[in-house]
């Protein structure tokens, strides 16, 4: 089987990621999955550079999440799984940038047959992140306001429609006007472009209301400072990414005098700590919402494995409008 391998830790993906072939070895608790689609995420780039929560043990298989079909299972796995379509939960040890991959059966969640594979491929990380951010930190009710920066990210593409469906209002912040229009189309209630007067514009847009929850994806202390004053007393800020590479900081007055909490989210920990039956229910619900057209990710390009250098370069461009994915099982014309 063909698969992409990280040969050393670093940032020069053109040199340190290679296309290789090997025969799959399926253990007793494993399943062999033929990959339909697998995204290139920012976490994959950070993983290759040694900057992610999991450090590469090179040579390391690349690709954290994806969707495919079970081809074969080990002696300890129910044969009924063979032929099923499944999403692969990320662990950064069993790569999905491959024609086929061997994965512990416990990392697989069956999903419907009649849903676009490109959309299913992004459910394990970004869609689940959006769901957890919306449900697991603050008990939100219809009419409540939440804030979200990095709102044009794939997480934002999922979170805004999920919030709208639940009757929760979103104050969405982006860094350029082109992204603002994209976020407006997702249904955000207020969309603002960052700037020196962001805090004043956000306060005016809220009309005296407070944010029940602030979801922070930039890591930029200056941007965080503009928004935390709008979070309710004893409210919660959740850091789910850091586009700037910095650590988010809550100003001392908000931290101590108003009792704000800064918390964090990591998909690997969420999957580890969430009971299996709840994982299956959540991913089933997300797949159904994709089928209904309620949620979805923008897809900018797909590539076969053989064009991995072009694909990885594309995925690292700034100001992309959508996801880049590998489609290993699609024949090259």
pLDDT tens, residue order, the chain (333 aa): 799 999 999 999 999 999 999 999 999 999 999 999 999 999 999 999 999 999 999 999 999 999 999 999 999 999 999 999 999 999 999 999 999 999 999 999 999 999 999 999 999 999 999 999 999 999 999 999 999 999 999 999 999 999 999 999 999 999 998 899 999 999 999 999 999 999 999 999 999 999 999 999 999 999 999 999 999 999 999 999 998 999 999 999 999 999 999 999 999 999 999 999 999 999 999 999 999 999 999 999 999 999 999 999 999 998 788 999 999 976 544
Are residues 101 and 11 part of one domain?
yes
Are residues 106 and 175 part of one domain?
no
Q: Tell me how many domains the chain contains.
A: 2
pLDDT value for 329: 76
The CA distance from 7 to 16, in Å, is 5
Are residues 59 and 14 part of one domain?
yes
Are residues 303 and 243 part of one domain?
no
Are residues 90 and 210 part of one domain?
no
Task: For residue 301, tell me if it sits in a domain.
Answer: yes
> What's the DSSP call for residue 248?
P
Tokens of 302: 């797909």
Are residues 97 and 173 part of one domain?
no
pLDDT value for 321: 80
Residues 6+ apart with CB under 8 A from 240: 129, 133, 155, 215, 216, 217, 264, 265
Are residues 99 and 174 part of one domain?
no
Task: For residue 276, tell me if it sits in a domain.
Answer: no
Note whether 231 and 214 are within 8 A (CB): yes
Q: What's the whole-model pTM score?
A: 0.95
pLDDT value for 121: 97
- Enclosing domain of residue 238: 132-268
Tokens of 44: 């994959």
Task: For residue 117, tell me if it sits in a domain.
Answer: yes
């Amino acid at each position: 089987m063909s698969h992409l391998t990280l040969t050393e830790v670093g940032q020069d993906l053109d040199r340190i990621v290679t296309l290789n072939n090997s025969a799959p070895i399926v253990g007793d608790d494993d399943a062999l999955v033929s990959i339909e689609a697998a995204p290139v995420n920012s976490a994959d780039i950070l993983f290759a550079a040694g900057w992610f929560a999991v450090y590469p043990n090179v040579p390391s298989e690349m690709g954290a999440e994806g969707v495919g079909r079970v081809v074969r299972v080990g002696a300890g796995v129910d044969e009924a799984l063979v032929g099923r379509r499944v999403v692969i939960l990320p662990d950064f040890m069993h790569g999905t940038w491959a024609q086929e991959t061997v994965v512990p059966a416990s990392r697989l969640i069956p999903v419907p047959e009649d849903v676009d594979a490109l959309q299913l491929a992004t459910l394990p990380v970004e869609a689940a992140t959006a769901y957890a951010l919306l449900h697991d930190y603050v008990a939100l009710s219809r009419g409540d306001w939440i804030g979200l920066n990095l709102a044009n990210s794939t997480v934002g593409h999922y979170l805004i429609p999920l919030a709208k469906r639940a009757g929760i209002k979103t104050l969405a912040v982006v860094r350029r006007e082109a992204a603002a229009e994209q976020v407006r189309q997702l249904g955000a209630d207020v969309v603002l472009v960052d700037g020196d007067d962001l805090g004043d514009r956000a306060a005016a847009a809220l009309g005296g209301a407070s944010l029940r929850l602030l979801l922070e994806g930039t890591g930029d202390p200056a941007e965080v400072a503009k928004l935390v004053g709008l979070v309710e007393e004893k409210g919660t800020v959740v850091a789910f990414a850091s586009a700037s590479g910095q650590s988010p900081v809550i100003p001392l007055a908000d931290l101590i005098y108003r009792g704000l909490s800064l918390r964090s989210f990591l998909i690997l920990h969420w999957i580890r700590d969430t009971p299996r039956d709840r994982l299956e229910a959540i991913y089933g619900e997300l797949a159904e919402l994709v089928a209904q057209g309620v949620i979805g990710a923008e897809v900018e390009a797909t590539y076969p494995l053989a064009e991995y250098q072009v694909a990885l370069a594309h995925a690292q461009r700034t100001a992309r409008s959508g996801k880049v994915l590998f489609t290993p099982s699609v024949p090259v014309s």
